[in-house]
Amino acid sequence: MGFKCGLVGLPNVGKSTLFTALSSLPVERAKFPFSTIEPNMGIVPVRDERLYKVAALVGIEKITPATLTIIDIAGLIKGAGKGEGLGNRFLAHIREMDLLLHVIRGFQAPDVPHLAGEPNPIRDIEIINLELILADLAFLERKREKVFRNAKSKSREAQLEKELVEKIYEHLNNGKPARSLILSAEEKSVAGGWQLLTMKPEIFVVNIDEKDLSVGESETVRSVKRLSKKTSTPVISICASLEAEFEEMEEDERAVFMEEYGLPDTGLDRLIKTGYDYLGLITFFTVKGKEARAWAVKKGTVAREGAGKVHTDMERGFIAAEVIDWEELIKAGSLTEAKEKGSIRLEGKDYLLKDGEVVLFRFKV
Ligand SMILES: Nc1nc2c(ncn2[C@@H]2O[C@H](COP(=O)(O)OP(=O)(O)O)[C@@H](O)[C@H]2O)c(=O)[nH]1
Ligand SMILES: [Mg+2]
Asked if 158 and 234 sit in the same domain, the reply is yes
Asked if 150 and 19 sit in the same domain, the reply is yes
Asked if 321 and 271 sit in the same domain, the reply is no
Q: What is the pLDDT of residue 100?
A: 95
Q: Which range is least confidently modeled, 28-37, 280-289, 302-311?
A: 28-37
Indicate which ligand has the atom closest to the C-alpha of 20: 1
Residue 331 lies in a domain: yes
How large is the average pLDDT for residues 13-32?
71
Measured from the CB, is residue 15 less than 6 Å from ligand 1?
A: yes
Residues lining ion ligand 2 (Cβ < 5 A) are 15-16, 35-36
Measured from the CB, is residue 27 less than 6 Å from ligand 1?
A: no
Q: What is the pLDDT of residue 85?
A: 47
Asked if 226 and 331 sit in the same domain, the reply is no
Using the predicted structure, report yes or no on whether residue 49 has a pLDDT greater than 60.
yes
Asked if 74 and 141 sit in the same domain, the reply is yes
CB burial of residue 22 (10 Å; 0-12, 13-18, 19+): buried
Please count the other Cβ atoms lying within 10 Å of the Cβ belonging to residue 6.
Answer: 27
Which CATH number goes with the domain that contains 343? 3.10.20.30
Q: How far is CA 271 from the centre of its chain?
A: 8
Measured from the CB, is residue 36 less than 6 Å from ligand 1?
A: yes
Q: List pLDDT tens digits, range 202-253.
A: 999 999 988 888 777 889 999 999 999 988 999 999 999 888 888 788 888 9
Q: How many domains does the chain contain in total?
A: 2
Name the β-bridge partners of 42: 70
Cβ distance 352 to 358 under 8 Å? no
Q: List pLDDT tens digits, range 303-362.
A: 999 999 999 999 999 999 999 999 999 999 999 999 999 999 999 999 999 999 999 999
Q: List pLDDT tens digits, range 100-147.
A: 999 999 998 878 877 777 778 999 999 899 989 998 999 999 999 888
Contacts of 246 (CB under 8 A, 6+ apart): 21, 254, 257, 258, 266, 267
pLDDT band with cut points at 50, 70 and 90 for residue 21: confident
Tell me the H-state helices in 174-250.
185-192, 212-215, 219-231, 240-248
Tell me the H-state helices in 10-87.
15-23, 49-58
Asked if 199 and 248 sit in the same domain, the reply is yes
If one compares 31 and 287, the residue with the highest pLDDT of the two is 287
Q: What range defines the domain where residue 89 resides? A: 4-277
| Three-class SS of 263-290 | CCCCHHHHHHHHHHHHHCEEEEEEEECC
Residue 330 lies in a domain: yes
Buried b / exposed e over 83-108, threshold 16 CB at 10 Å, is eebbbbebbebbeebbbbbbbbbbbe
Cβ distance 318 to 363 under 8 Å? yes
How large is the average pLDDT for residues 252-279?
88
- Report in angstroms the alpha-carbon separations of 309 from 1, 174, 323: 9, 40, 16
Residue 134 lies in a domain: yes
Cβ distance 207 to 13 under 8 Å? yes
Question: What's at 113, amino acid-wise?
Answer: P
Using the predicted structure, report yes or no on whether residue 295 has a pLDDT greater than 70.
yes
> 230, 245, 277: which is the final residue of a domain?
277
Using the predicted structure, report yes or no on whether residue 83 has a pLDDT greater than 60.
no
If one compares 74 and 275, the residue with the highest pLDDT of the two is 275
Asked if 13 and 86 sit in the same domain, the reply is yes
Cβ distance 5 to 70 under 8 Å? yes
CA dihedral over 24, 28, 34, 38, signed as positive or negative: negative
Percent of the chain predicted with pLDDT > 90: 58
How large is the average pLDDT for residues 180-208?
95
The answer to pTM > 0.85 is yes
Residue 287 lies in a domain: no
Q: What is the pLDDT of residue 1?
A: 64
Average pLDDT, the chain: 88
Contacts of 154 (CB under 8 A, 6+ apart): none
pLDDT band with cut points at 50, 70 and 90 for residue 35: very low
If one compares 7 and 82, the residue with the highest pLDDT of the two is 7
Residue 50 lies in a domain: yes
Residue 15 lies in a domain: yes
15: closest CA among 60, 73, 69? Answer: 73
What 8-state DSSP symbol labels residue 108?
Answer: -
35: closest CA among 53, 15, 50? Answer: 15
CA–centroid distance, 27 to ligand 2, in Å, is: 9
How large is the average pLDDT for residues 31-41?
55
Q: What is the pLDDT of residue 228?
A: 95
pLDDT band with cut points at 50, 70 and 90 for residue 37: very low
Q: How far is CA 97 from the centre of its chain?
A: 8
Measured from the CB, is residue 16 less than 6 Å from ligand 1?
A: yes
Asked if 9 and 133 sit in the same domain, the reply is yes
Q: What is the pLDDT of residue 31?
A: 45
347: closest CA among 335, 336, 332, 357? Answer: 357
pLDDT band with cut points at 50, 70 and 90 for residue 262: confident
pLDDT band with cut points at 50, 70 and 90 for residue 78: low
Element (H, E) at 94: helix 88-95
Residue 56 lies in a domain: yes
CA–centroid distance, 180 to ligand 2, in Å, is: 28
pLDDT band with cut points at 50, 70 and 90 for residue 38: low
Asked if 248 and 110 sit in the same domain, the reply is yes
Q: Tell me how far apart the alpha carbons of residues 77 and 310 are, in angstroms, rounded to a whole number.
A: 41
Residue 290 lies in a domain: no
Which ligand 1 atom sits nearest the alpha carbon of residue 242? 27
Which CATH number goes with the domain that contains 49? 3.40.50.300
Q: Tell me how far apart the alpha carbons of residues 23 and 72 are, in angstroms, rounded to a whole number.
A: 10
Asked if 235 and 347 sit in the same domain, the reply is no
> 244, 277, 310: which is the final residue of a domain?
277
Asked if 23 and 128 sit in the same domain, the reply is yes
Asked if 152 and 119 sit in the same domain, the reply is yes
Measured from the CB, is residue 241 less than 6 Å from ligand 1?
A: yes
